[in-house]
Amino acid sequence: MNPRVHQLLTVFDEGDAQGVMALRIRRALQAAGCESEIFAGQVRSAPGNEAAALPPAGPKDVLILHYSIGSPATRIFLGWGGRRVLVYHNITPGRFFRGYDDLAMLECFRGRRELGRLGSEVDLALAVSEFNAAELGERGFAQVGILPFPLDEEILGGEVDLRLAGRLAGKGTRILFVGRLAPNKRQDLVIRSFQAYRDLFAPEAHLDLVGAAPIPAYAAELRRTAAGGGGRGITLTGQVSWPALRAYYRAANVFVCLSEHEGFCVPLIESLRGGIPILARAAGAIPETLGGAGVLVEQAEPRKLAVLLNLLAEPGELRRRVLAAQDRRLAELRAYPFDRRLREFLNL
């Protein structure tokens, strides 16, 4: 009989990266004949269950903890009597939140400290990137497997908000970044680069910054930065539904990511799939996720980025070459045997 393999998250939301990965893992496990459910401290969507409902473990049963911040879920995980597997999604270094959200900063410090204590408590640690695996290694995890974030065609290829897509299809180039508004993601630099692009090359251009705004002080700073350049053409959308997100990807001419810290960066693979040329900073796991595709910059100087945005938005040689490399990367990601690798890691 196959073991039961359950998953535990701090928050389960089918719309965020961890939620998407948990759903994919559940599908793979159920296809392999395992009983598999998702539990979380906070459940925001089906099929998540309250963590308190987690059944007691048999000796062969497995609990997978998706870890990105210290939370009460860790205590439940450590109390699990069966095998314990940690999937590390990365914790943003707390210093990024300094001055914006001091409590978030302290929670990140605590999360990293707690992570250091988990090394000897898990039977297996998995990281979604080499970058994350190296962090686990530094914190005393002896053996770490790499299980990259899965490319989920079902989610990416779903229904599109056609009304929104129609509205976005007006004149003018559309530049896109997707990610919650957070200091490590440096949307402030994205705005300044866009303003330079608009001033120098494309007065009709638009910038869509898609993502929730969990840190009010940083969101307010972004609004001030946008207003400083006249605020024209810049939309901070807030959190959007999957159909709306697909409409933004469909309308985008260039995807730009200037994050200083990313443990994987799922929107990059969504952009690969959407056939959108990518301009990104070579930071964190971004080079690894792009794997030889996109244009990577070491420094984010707005005027130089403005020129690159213009070259990538126009139907010229650079755009053609970048898209060709991105298609190759997409094929690599599609060929990755996620389900098989997961079963191998779990000895199923």
Q: Which of 86, 295, 342, 346 lies at the binding interface for other proteins (CB under 8 A)?
A: 295
Contact call for residues 294 and 284 (beta carbons, < 8 A): no
User: Which is nearer to other proteins, 74 or 225 (by Cβ)?
Assistant: 225
User: Which is nearer to other proteins, 145 or 287 (by Cβ)?
Assistant: 287
C-alpha–C-alpha distance, residues 48 and 168, integer Å:
33
Q: Which of 157, 166, 238, 292 lies at the binding interface for other proteins (CB under 8 A)?
A: 292
For 129, left (φ over 0), alpha (ψ -120 to 50), or beta? Answer: beta
Contact call for residues 278 and 295 (beta carbons, < 8 A): yes
Asked if 32 is part of the footprint of other proteins (rule: CB under 8 A), the reply reads no
Asked if 109 is part of the footprint of other proteins (rule: CB under 8 A), the reply reads yes
Of 15-23, 116-124, 152-160, 288-296, the segment contacting other proteins by CB under 8 A is: 288-296
Q: Which of 310, 330, 338, 346 lies at the binding interface for other proteins (CB under 8 A)?
A: 310
C-alpha–C-alpha distance, residues 209 and 175, integer Å:
9
Asked if 304 is part of the footprint of other proteins (rule: CB under 8 A), the reply reads yes
Asked if 229 is part of the footprint of other proteins (rule: CB under 8 A), the reply reads no
Q: List the beta strands (DSSP E) in the chain.
A: 5-12, 38-43, 48-50, 62-67, 83-88, 124-127, 144-146, 174-178, 206-210, 234-238, 254-257, 278-281, 295-297
Q: Which of 151, 325, 330, 346 lies at the binding interface for other proteins (CB under 8 A)?
A: 325
Q: Which of 156, 160, 307, 333 lies at the binding interface for other proteins (CB under 8 A)?
A: 307
Count CB atoms within 10 A of the CB of residue 35: 14
Interaction residues for other proteins, span 184-203 (CB under 8 A): 184, 186, 189, 192, 200
Q: Which of 35, 114, 130, 260 lies at the binding interface for other proteins (CB under 8 A)?
A: 260
Q: Could you tell me how many residues of this chain bind other proteins (CB under 8 A)?
A: 42
User: Which is nearer to other proteins, 4 or 261 (by Cβ)?
Assistant: 261
C-alpha–C-alpha distance, residues 247 and 303, integer Å:
28
C-alpha–C-alpha distance, residues 235 and 142, integer Å:
45
User: Which is nearer to other proteins, 247 or 280 (by Cβ)?
Assistant: 280
Q: List the beta strands (DSSP E) in 214-303.
A: 234-238, 254-257, 278-281, 295-297
Asked if 234 is part of the footprint of other proteins (rule: CB under 8 A), the reply reads no
Q: Which of 194, 213, 302, 330 lies at the binding interface for other proteins (CB under 8 A)?
A: 302
Q: Which of 128, 143, 170 is nearest to 342 (CA)?
A: 128
Q: Which of 50, 153, 159, 301 lies at the binding interface for other proteins (CB under 8 A)?
A: 301
φ, ψ of residue 179 in degrees (nearest 5): 160, 150
C-alpha–C-alpha distance, residues 308 and 302, integer Å:
10
Q: Which of 53, 138, 298, 337 lies at the binding interface for other proteins (CB under 8 A)?
A: 298
Per-residue mark of binding to other proteins, 61-100 (x: CB under 8 A): --------------------------------xxxx-xx-
Asked if 169 is part of the footprint of other proteins (rule: CB under 8 A), the reply reads no
C-alpha–C-alpha distance, residues 232 and 249, integer Å:
21
Asked if 102 is part of the footprint of other proteins (rule: CB under 8 A), the reply reads yes
- Amino acid identity at 60: K
Q: Which residues bind other proteins (CB under 8 A)?
A: 93-96, 98-99, 102, 105-106, 109, 183-184, 186, 189, 192, 200, 260, 282, 287, 290, 292-304, 307-308, 310-311, 318, 321-322, 324-325
